[in-house]
Amino acid sequence: MTELQPITSLLAQASGSAFFGIVPLIAIFAIFYLMLIMPQQKRQKKWQSMLSALKNGDKVVTSGGIRGTIISVRDDAVQLRVPPDNLRIEVARSAVTALVNPEEAK
């Protein structure tokens, strides 16, 4: 009976230390989720809703830095009128990165 006593105490210590070894990993994952993953998901949802709400007459900026006014919206592309020559170009809908507020344009 005396030989089993040290074994059970070692098992109890091993399971306790394993638990305390996992706690920091869980805490690190929680911090990464709260600081990196969640804000990125919010930005992605906001961008997707902005893309789905595009309409004719909206002033937008593309990922390439082109500023223009939407003249036609399709499923996967938009046509922009770009000043100063009123050039008409077609870009992928996913290339639109932001709407330009009318207050900012003035």
pLDDT digits (tens, 9 = 90+) for 41-89: 999 999 999 999 999 999 999 999 999 999 999 999 999 999 999 999 9
| Residue 23 identity (one-letter amino acid) | V
What dihedral do alpha carbons 66, 69, 73, 79 form, nearest 10°? -50
Query: Which percentage of the chain shows pLDDT scores above 90?
Result: 71
Q: What angle do CA 80, 68, 61 make, to 5 degrees?
A: 110
CB 45 within 8 A of CB 55: no
In the block, tokens 């902005």 appear at: 50
From the number of C-beta atoms within 10 Å of its C-beta (0-12, 13-18, 19+), residue 79 rates as: middle
Task: Spell out the alpha helix ranges (H) of the chain.
Answer: 4-32, 38-52, 102-105
Instruction: Answer whether 0.85 is exceeded by the pTM.
Output: no
3-class DSSP state for residue 32?
helix
